Amino acid sequence: MPPNIIPSDDDSRVPRHYGIVVARFNELITNRLLDGALSALREHGVPDDAIDVAYVPGSFEIGPAALAMAETKHVEAIICIGAVIRGETAHFDYVSMAVTQAVTRVSLDTGVPCLFGVLTTDTMEQALARSGGPGANRGYDAALGALEMARLLPRIRSMRHRKHAAGANPPHSTD
Ligand code: INI
C-alpha cells in the first residue's frame, strides 16, 4: 500500500493570515527581501489586509517580535527577514547565531512556523545577489515556505481527529 502523503497543495479558498517581521538594519537589503515576500504572498492570492508587517531595529530583535506575533494566534506563519553581513560588524557571529536560535525556538515553542528569510553573508555583494528577483530572492522563497507550512500543519494536526473519528486508534485517555 502506498504511503499516505499529507497534501500541502494550494487551497487558496481557505483564508489565512501571515506575519512578517523585518529588520531595518541593512534596509537596502531587507526592503528587497520584504518586496519579494509580499510578491509571493500576493501571487498566491493573499490579500494585503491578511498580512501584518512589524519592523524591528535589527536582526537581534526579530525573535521577540516573532514570539509576540505568534502568541496572538492571529497568524498561521511568520516570515522573518533580516540581513547580517560579516564585513559590517565584529559581532556577526553573535547576531547571526542569536537570530537563528530565536527563530527556531519561537517556531517550535509556539507551533507557529517561522520561516528564515535572514541572510547571513560575508559581503554586501552576496546579500544583493540573494535579494534580487524571483528565483534569487530569499524573502520570496521564505514566503513560499510560509504558504506551504500554513497549509500543511493544520492537515497534520487534523489527522489525530480523523483517526479517532474512524475508530482506528481509540485514544487511551478517557477525555
Ligand atoms: N543587525 C543586523 O540585522 N545585521 C547586521 O549586520 C548587524 N550588524 O552588523 O551589527 C546588526 N546589528 C544590530 C543588532 O541586530 C541589534 O539591532 C543591536 O545590537 C541592538 O540590539
Give the Cα separation of 65 and 80 in Å (integer): 10
| Ligand 1 near 41 CB (within 6 A) | no
List the grid coordinates of 112: 507557529
**Residue with cell string 509571493:** 40
Atom of ligand 1 nearest to the CA of 62: 15
**Burial classification of residue 48, based on how many CB atoms lie within 10 Å of its CB (0-12 exposed, 13-18 middle, 19 or more buried):** exposed
> In the CATH hierarchy, which top-level class contains the domain 18-166?
alpha beta
Strand partners, 119: 83
Helices (H), 130-171: 138-166
Task: Please indicate, yes or no, whether the overall pTM of this predicted structure exceeds 0.75.
Answer: yes
| pLDDT tens digits along 125-137 | 999 999 998 789 9
| Ligand 1 near 147 CB (within 6 A) | no
Domain boundaries, the chain: 18-166
Whether the per-residue pLDDT at 175 is higher than 50: the answer is: no
Active site annotation includes 91: yes
